[in-house]
Amino acid sequence: MKSTHTEPGYMLQLDGLRAIAVIVVVLFHWTPEVKQTGLGGLGVQLFFILSGYLITGILLQARAKAEGLGLGKAQIIKSFYARRFLRIFPLYYIVIVLAALLGSVNVQRYLGWHLGYLTNFAIFKEGHWIGEASHLWSLAVEEQFYLLWPLVILYTPRRYLSITIAGFILLAPFFKLTCLLLNVEESRLGVLPISSFHYLGAGSLLALYGKAIASKENKLWQDRLSLAVKALGVAGLAGFVVLHFSTSKFINGLGWMVVKEFAVISLFVSITLGAAHGFKGKAGSLLSSRPMVYVGQISYGLYLFHNFVPYFTKKLLQRFEINELDPVLSLSINTIALLAISAASLHFLESRLNRYKKHFPYVTAPHKSINRIVVK
């Protein structure tokens, strides 16, 4: 989730997609009308696919540059983790510490898990969501992904990269179906990192094929990839609509849920590629609009704060003996507070920390040695 769009390779419309993803998540958690649709998970799934796509693209580009210069990959690893640290850790830990000090019950109760980026394992262990801290599970999954993925992308031989990523994608449904046979509760499955490998891996595979075809500078292959992904998106949308809204008793259970997840993946992979290349028409105008791009830029803060804002707003109102508010008024107050806090976070903390990224380039070209001519 970027805070600025001045970096090389920046794709404007992907921030628009981030905006859609975070809006879906917030509305799902804040409004019973959206919650009843069961569509809230789509926002997190889109975030995962975007993360897989962007992180893999960065690593592949850095790997190609390093190999072209005959350099090792140690610097890429160090810089990747340093840049992720600057982008994620400071705001995350500030929020966790403040929430604990201000009396967040579920932050205090599971503080060690949150500090270790293990909220998802805490939820899996408990077997239920943990209130206002529940949303931290997906941030834990992303951090666990960041620890693993540079090693996979940088050190897997190129000829095995696609099959390795495909293997990670298949791990998710295999794990879920295995747990089904072992009668593990379905509600506990989705929070583990292995349960999201198909989303993260699909974005990664898209980046791999996109980079490979782009490197050939063959427009025919680029057009073929675009056409194939578009067809995949149409099929994914149709499959999702049928599976999600069907009332048939035959379409239920974990097996069909896995099929629906791959339908969602097909749809989101198609949308991600379209946004990366730049949609035309109304879709492009929407994703490129200033409000959408700005919401995308503050999406990390929006996601991190969004469950805590109504929690602490309610506690504050109760101090003034206000126990009930009109739903529209409550939604308005929470929305204004969330936007204000997230914007302040971006401009006063995140953007300033991101400036230090320049000190951690992924690849630094070696200095040429100057041959001295010794006159005897």
For the stretch 170-207, pLDDT in tens is: 999 999 888 877 777 665 678 999 999 999 999 999 99
For the stretch 23-80, pLDDT in tens is: 999 999 999 888 888 787 899 999 999 999 999 999 999 999 999 999 999 999 999 9
Mean pLDDT of the chain: 89
Give the percent of the chain with pLDDT over 90.
Answer: 72
What confidence score (pLDDT) does residue 216 get?
61
Grade residue 226 by pLDDT with cuts at 50, 70 and 90. confident
Grade residue 375 by pLDDT with cuts at 50, 70 and 90. very low
Grade residue 368 by pLDDT with cuts at 50, 70 and 90. low
What confidence score (pLDDT) does residue 215 get?
64
Grade residue 225 by pLDDT with cuts at 50, 70 and 90. confident
Whole-structure pTM value: 0.91
Contacts of 113 (CB under 8 A, 6+ apart): 119, 121, 122
Q: How far is CA 153 from the centre of its chain?
A: 18
Look at residue 212 and tell me whether its pLDDT is greater than 90.
Answer: no
Mean pLDDT in residue range 310-334: 91
Look at residue 254 and tell me whether its pLDDT is greater than 70.
Answer: no
Structural domain boundaries of the chain? 40-290
Q: Are 317 and 329 in contact (CB under 8 A)?
A: no
Query: To 5 degrees, how large is the angle CA 30–CA 34–CA 40?
Result: 85
What confidence score (pLDDT) does residue 223 get?
76
CA distance 125 to 136: 15
For the stretch 256-284, pLDDT in tens is: 888 899 999 999 999 999 999 899 999 99
Look at residue 119 and tell me whether its pLDDT is greater than 90.
Answer: yes
What confidence score (pLDDT) does residue 61 get?
94
Mean pLDDT in residue range 2-14: 63
CA distance 254 to 42: 17
What confidence score (pLDDT) does residue 121 get?
95
Look at residue 2 and tell me whether its pLDDT is greater than 60.
Answer: no
CA distance 342 to 344: 5
For the stretch 343-356, pLDDT in tens is: 999 999 999 999 99
Sign, CA dihedral 8-14-16-20, equals negative
Going by the DSSP 8-state scheme, the letter that residue 359 receives in this structure is G
The single residue listed with the structure tokens 């990523």 is: 165
Beta carbons within 10 angstroms of residue 341's beta carbon: 19
Look at residue 5 and tell me whether its pLDDT is greater than 60.
Answer: no
What confidence score (pLDDT) does residue 322 get?
87
Flag the least confident range among 139-153, 211-225, 301-315: 211-225
Mean pLDDT in residue range 103-126: 96
What confidence score (pLDDT) does residue 4 get?
40
Grade residue 90 by pLDDT with cuts at 50, 70 and 90. very high
Distance (Å) of CA 274 to CA 214, 244, 271, 304:
15, 24, 5, 27
